[in-house]
């Protein structure tokens, strides 16, 4: 929960998105998951070294997704004492499940320009923005990354 609090503070400081939106939640969850899986939250404000680490970890791409999956798998291997479930790990798994399974409607960034093998010009689209359904983490991760830069 403390990781989520820190992620929320970073996003609020960046003032990039209204807190009531699904995109904000995606950004908060992606950033909180990153903080938790990178050995947890720290007390008080984030030190500069930790901010730099978060910038590197949230750099957009499939590497972050693979890193999250590997870290979650590594944390699930050891069993807690007396067979008790770790509530933080359960929250992290729930956040990851939401980020992975929830799709949000977003601008199709691949549709911004023609592919390099197609001639420029040609047919113009009707001026509308192309949108696609994308997993929430693909929107939340860049939002979290930008918020860390602004922090």
- What pLDDT digit, counting tens, does each position of 20-34 carry? 899 999 999 999 999
Phi, psi of 22 (to 5 degrees): -65, -30
Q: What angle do CA 54, 55, 60 make, to 5 degrees?
A: 110
Q: Rounded mean pLDDT of the chain?
A: 80
Q: In the 8-state DSSP scheme, what is residue 120?
A: S
pTM of the model: 0.76
The residues of the chain scoring below 70 in pLDDT are 40-45, 60-62, 78-85, 108-128
Q: What is the pLDDT of residue 124?
A: 47
pLDDT in tens, 83-109: 556 788 889 999 999 999 999 988 765
């Amino acid at each position: 929960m403390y990781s989520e609090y820190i992620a929320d503070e970073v996003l609020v400081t960046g003032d990039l998105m209204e807190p009531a939106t699904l995109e904000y939640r995606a950004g908060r969850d992606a950033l909180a998951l990153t903080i938790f899986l990178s050995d947890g939250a720290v007390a008080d404000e984030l030190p500069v070294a930790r901010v730099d680490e978060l910038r590197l970890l949230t750099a957009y791409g499939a590497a972050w997704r693979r890193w999250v999956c590997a870290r979650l798998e590594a944390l699930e291997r050891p069993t807690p004492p007396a067979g008790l479930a770790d509530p933080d790990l359960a929250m992290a798994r729930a956040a990851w499940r939401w980020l992975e399974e929830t799709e949000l409607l977003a601008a199709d960034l691949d549709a911004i320009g023609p592919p390099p093998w197609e001639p420029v010009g040609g047919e113009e689209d009707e001026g509308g923005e192309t949108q696609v359904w994308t997993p929430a983490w693909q929107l939340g991760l860049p939002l979290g990354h930008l918020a860390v830069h602004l922090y």
